[in-house]
Amino acid sequence: MRRLLFLLLTLLPLNMLAQLDTQDAVRQAERIFSFLQYDQTDSLYERLADDMRAMVDKDQLSGAMKQAEQLAGAYQEHGEWTVNLQDTLTICSSVCRFENGELSAVIVFDRGWMIHGLHLMPRHDEVKHEPLPEGIVELTDTVRAADGLALPCIITLSGLALHPPIVVMVHGSGPLDSDETVMANKPFRDLARLLALRGISTLRYDKRTYVSHEPVASVEEETINDALAAIALARTYNNNVYLLGHSLGAMLAPAIAEQDSLQGIVMMAAPARDMEQVVIDQVESLSPPEATKEQKAQALADLHSQMPHYFVPQHQVQKALRLHIPILLLQGERDYQVTMKDFRIWQKKLRKKKNATLIAYPALNHLFIPGEGPPTPQEYMKKGSVSEQVADDIATFLRP
């Protein structure tokens, strides 16, 4: 259906923030949060700045707290507001406690206390990094995009094998960090550590839409061009470069491979169908039983308006068929976002390609984390780890 609240990409890097007097800001934040909590849509909409009204209509604001409660359980309370200043913007944030977890409320005001950003989203705490195992080193570097944008990245180097290959990780849709953080989980960080223990180095980077608030108009701009820049950086460490794509990144992996001389690609949860059909299935899966056809159609229309470039056909199956490099395609059978419908299409289309290996995992979800029962978005709020079997299969593919 509609996103947890709506995509507002006006926040800027927090390391540039400076503290300011908080009394007025806290009072304003409390007022806006009360509008959100009690679904006072008209009052909330009146406080939106003009640029926000161009992006969001009243209907999209309605029921935001109820949507959050569907994900995290009944709302209980929120903590004190943290107030920071960046240029002309005042940024207020608070931890909201729900029955099944915590979400972060973030409100961005201008000098006239009009709203330029409003988030109610999964909380991303700073994680205390465990010491790396012996023989593994993590370095920080920068992917320099074609337009000059700097994308911070982490290179995990494995010293546990001679001449280890290096794998560039390409994210799914949306603004994602180098760990591909999804609620309580960090699948790319899990994979980087697991693969390093198996003699595989990796490069993972903050996605453009995570680093910059500038809108993107195509998958080339959002993903493909930056992936090619990351591959170029990886070659400065090792010329034996593979690409691993997840979800949207997996769908675009054949297109990326067509533009670079990679050693092979790993496609995790790769849509085989056009995104239109994939999203229709997602809407159907996530809609409550009482949802009408009109409501489902409106949800699809909202997604079209928010992310039109995702719905441009990418012809990923045809592109994969043209590739002569090794392909590993992995699918979790408990994935409700990219389902076994897509995997069966891949099986049928790639059955004659000797360079393609396909593996499905009965217990794994979209993040390749084990679970039980029907998959739901609430599952992502529980911390888990990527299956070691997945890492074993990838390592076997990379180092047969």
Angle 231-234-236 from CA coordinates, rounded to 5° = 125
User: Are the C-beta atoms of 320 and 252 separated by less than 8 Å?
Assistant: no
The one-letter amino acid code at 243 reads L
Bridge-based pairing of strands 75-78 and 201-205 is unpaired
| C-beta atoms surrounding 218 within 10 Å | 13
Q: Would you state the structure tokens that stand for residue 314, as one six-digit string?
A: 């990418």
User: Are the C-beta atoms of 300 and 279 separated by less than 8 Å?
Assistant: yes
Q: So which residues are the catalytic ones?
A: 247, 335, 366
